[in-house]
Amino acid sequence: MAPPSPIVDELKDTPDEASATPVPDAPRLDTAPQQLVAGLLGKADIRINGERPWDMQLHDPAALERALAEGNLGLGEAYMAGAWDCEQLDGFFDHLLRAHLDREVQPARLAWHALQVRVFNRQNRTRAWQVGKAHYDLGNDFYEAMLDPLMAYSCGYWRDADNLADAQRAKLDLICRKLGLQPGMRVLDIGCGWGSLMGFAAEHYGVQCVGVTVSKEQAAWARERYAGLPLEFRLQDYRELDAASLGGPMDRLVSVGMFEHVGRKNHRVYMEVAERCLADDGLFLLHTIGKNRRDSVPDRWIDKHIFPNGDLPSVGQVGDAIDGLFVAEDLHNFGADYDHTLMAWHANFEAAWPRFADALGETFHRKWRYYLLSCAGAFRARELQLWQWVLSKDGVRGGYRRAV
């Protein structure tokens, strides 16, 4: 196997600062690994240096060998380094994942990563703060440019919406209606982000809220934005929560886009925390990205470059976590809507990029584009899901009816 290219070696050392100019000529695929990857891509109807928008434009053949050796970590870092391009990255990943090529390429280097995930608690109380610093504390001005006016950083609800702002407001209102919020209720938001749900619920449903986050930037922004409303924003690990610290059991619990950071070693603990904080007649809405297979391993590129220690749950893992603690009243999947959400974020990101280009650099630009568009392709291919679970402690008397 040929050694990695100098482009990729440079990226390994400085992944967020390095910038490389792609080689203009389309190189020949001279090695067996390169030809093997080209053949695999052909199964997904992806051509190397083809003319369709989802085809790969290859500048350095070593990118194919890294993809074969390291899976998406190698493929993504080669893209960040300028070793290949694609006019429509979301379409590339839709084709790739629809053909399940990720299941055919199982590099030996993934074995250690898989062992770490299964053996170690990668989301313990110390490591849980890493994602706040690495991802959510990038800068509130950056997220203000990419997200909707309410700063909702999770899947919008596009059933009756045709723009990002309306889709996010529809999602927030859907959650409030599913929870049956009434004036005077007390709500706990585990992983409150920039406070979009808390602010919306307080303004439109007359509730009081406590929210916890591991991001200093989020907490500071939310406190300033929602000053004067009956909202409390805490910089706190969810494991520290109990009814006493909240001033008594909460009428409602909600968690939007946070369970992806909990990790399989902590799913049960998380649900135990939720159970002890919720009133006996309360409801808990869990909004989370999910995966189709229980035994899959977190993506190494996402883990290294976007969400440290992330771990998407399966339906079975959520079921195991709530066993004996909660009744699953409702499970709603609108994962296809995340495709629309991510494409809207990407459009905002690209439009705003000139404001951030000098500070963040071209490698970050390519990294963020790869993140947003590869995820859009994964949801489009239905490889990833978005679930809203509604849970109760002992079952809703007479049955639960989903708000639509």
- Residue 277 falls in the annotated catalytic set: no
Asked if residue 178 lies in contact with residue 198, where contact means CB atoms within 8 angstroms, the answer is no
Structure tokens at 75: 């493929």
**So what's the architecture of 127-335+382-392 in CATH?**
3-Layer(aba) Sandwich (3.40)
Quickly list DSSP for 12-35. Answer: HH-TTT---PPPSS-----SHHHH
Q: Which of 155, 176, 192, 375 is catalytic?
A: 375
Structure tokens at 310: 């992330």
* Alpha carbon distances (Å) from 379 to 80, 342, 383: 22, 9, 6
User: Can you tell me the distance from the alpha carbon of 200 to that of 210, in angstroms, rounded to the nearest whole number?
Assistant: 13
What residue ranges do the domains of the chain occupy? 6-119, 127-335+382-392
Global pTM value: 0.88
Q: How far is CA 193 from the centre of its chain?
A: 13
* Alpha carbon distances (Å) from 320 to 267, 365, 386: 8, 39, 18
Q: How many CB atoms within 10 Å of residue 336?
A: 14
pLDDT at 121: 58
Low-confidence stretches of the chain (pLDDT < 50) are 1-24, 111-115, 117, 129
Give per-residue pLDDT as tens, 176-227. Answer: 999 999 999 999 999 999 999 999 999 999 999 999 999 999 999 999 999 9
